Chains A and B, each alone.
Chain A
């Protein structure tokens, strides 16, 4: 570090400077899902191990007397046999149903699920005819989840992609830490929705509770009703024609388009006053510049 001259430092980009000064030693190790894909191969959208399923091959599963683990392994078993449409009957509020499905599948849940339903999924289209408990769709990567009734708190926590839709109302902390994808709520949402949101879009047709978008880094929230209060660093932004077109298309797709259109929606984004996580600390700035 001592061998680097001031002139050398000034000629470097900020990233090079940080590395040259040994301020970051982070090395990405371990397995990342992106390792599974060949960037050159544009047509490949599935995991190499994903079972080949046929959407026309349909089966029903009565889960009344099964445990969540048994249901989840049975789903995997059925998929390996090529079933592409699976109907779960009598879920009766079981937790962790249909988690970790990483390939295409049509899944219909006839009833209500408990906590952590359809979490960690990448690809399936899920329809739940009942209600879902806390943390539905947590960490989902892609696919579509459509819930006909209400949902609990932390709906769509940390989702990265796909469409997570609840036609009823949801609990508190909706889309906490979300990093992508779209969350759509037909009814109201509770307090601290969009807390620490990093990317992605959230649409709520009804009202939002207090501290909406608290400490959000980025991403966009659209609220159709009243907002009880804004969180730290969440600000209102202009609803552009591009926003309106997108809202119209997205809400129409799920049958949630309000009769009065989408012009009344409020757009909420990050004020970015708290945005300093990728900047250098003042002491570091002094050292470099």
Chain B
């Protein structure tokens, strides 16, 4: 079933981490397997990279895994050095997730590919504003583990996952970063029926997939379109023509938030729009979690595409 949520503040920064947690916790019943956030903080000069070096299942292999994790992160650090990356800050969030701040002028795709050669390593996001956090458990578990309640920013998207098409693990959790396109992330609720056809097309064009989750296709597809110079709005419109199935998905970039709904309008989305805040979620109850007062909301129609500017 899955639940998706997104919000964007126009021209101001707010407690996006806390607000997204409230919304996603209200959607817990739509998917308790994993929760993910793509939140956009105040833009920094350097790049921010979120990285995981193991899956939750790896962590259950006994105490030997810790030596293995040390080996993995050392290897990643040596690769980063090799590419001439200047790391300004490195935070260990927990045993298997790290946050780097660095400056780098080289080929980000090549760097990312090199880092992901390390067994178990997956770059969750890279960007100037984007921070992508995902883990097993509900929104409050993930928020507490990653200290999201104090996160300030302009916009964000999030997802609560009920695994139907692939496993319960971090690699199949949403959101997906549109590799290797800075600051672009995707959350999706639905099923894509021409996934393998589209995936093969994308793979032929040189794009990489880390999971078998159909939602990852939307991130790769969006990244591909954006790399060709297509606008976010046109990419969303084009996806309704080219991608089969029932879906509602949200895409966030460093200053935009977009939504698209398939031709059947089979997956829900409730939308609230005001002059300074736009909020959307699979269910109204999520919007009410941050806006308890009486507000006007509506359902976007089939084939509807919208894009908002921060």
Contacts and interface: CB of A to CB of B under 8 A. Distances in A.
Interface of A: 64, 90, 92-95, 111-115, 129-131, 133-134, 149-153, 168-173, 190-192, 209-210
B302 A131 contact: no
Contacts of B117: none
A87 to B, nearest CB: 14
Contacts of A151: 299
B279 to A, nearest CB: 12
7 contacts: A94-B285, A112-B284, A129-B294, A153-B268, A171-B265, A191-B264, A192-B264
Contact of A149 (B264, B288, B292, B296): B296
Interface residues of B, number: 19
Contacts of B301: 171-172, 190-191, 209
B270 interface: yes
A114 B268 contact: no
B297 interface: yes
B283 interface: yes
B299 A153 contact: yes
Contact of A133 (B284, B294, B302): B284
B265 A133 contact: no
Given A93-B284, A152-B299, A133 B270 contact: yes
Contacts of B286: 93
Interface string B285-310: 11110001010111101100000000
B298 A131 contact: yes
Among A112, A114, A168, the most chain B Cβ lie within 10 Å of the Cβ of A112
Contacts of B264: 172, 191-192
Interface of B: 263-265, 268, 270, 283-288, 292, 294, 296-299, 301-302
B26 to A, nearest CB: 8
Contacts of B297: 112, 131, 149-150
B302 A95 contact: no
A133 B286 CA distance: 12
Contact of A111 (B287, B294, B298, B302): B294
Nearest to B29: A95
A211 B287 CA distance: 31
Given A169-B298, A171-B299, A131 B268 contact: no
A197 to B, nearest CB: 18
B189 to A, nearest CB: 13
A152 B301 CA distance: 10
A191 B284 CA distance: 21
Contacts of B302: 172, 190-191, 209-210
A115 B269 CA distance: 12
B298 A114 contact: no
B278 to A, nearest CB: 16
Contacts of A111: 294
Contacts of A114: 283-285
B265 A172 contact: yes
A153 B265 contact: yes
Contacts of A190: 265, 299, 301-302
B283 A115 contact: yes
A71 B301 CA distance: 31
A92 B291 CA distance: 9
B265 A93 contact: no
A129 B295 CA distance: 11
Nearest to B299: A171
Given A90-B292, A190-B302, 13 more contacts: A93-B287, A93-B288, A112-B288, A112-B297, A149-B297, A150-B298, A151-B299, A168-B298, A169-B298, A171-B265, A171-B299, A191-B263, A191-B302
Nearest to A173: B265
B286 to A, nearest CB: 8
Contacts of B284: 93, 112-114, 131, 133
A94 B283 CA distance: 9
Contacts of B270: 133, 152
A153 B248 CA distance: 14
Contact of A92 (B265, B268, B292, B299): B292
A287 to B, nearest CB: 40
Nearest to A169: B298
Nearest to B296: A149
Nearest to B265: A172
Contacts of B296: 131, 149-150
A209 B261 CA distance: 14
Contacts of B299: 150-153, 170-172, 190
A113 B270 CA distance: 12
Nearest to A192: B264
Nearest to A90: B292
A68 to B, nearest CB: 10
Nearest to A94: B285
Contacts of A64: 292
Nearest to A133: B284
A249 B298 CA distance: 28
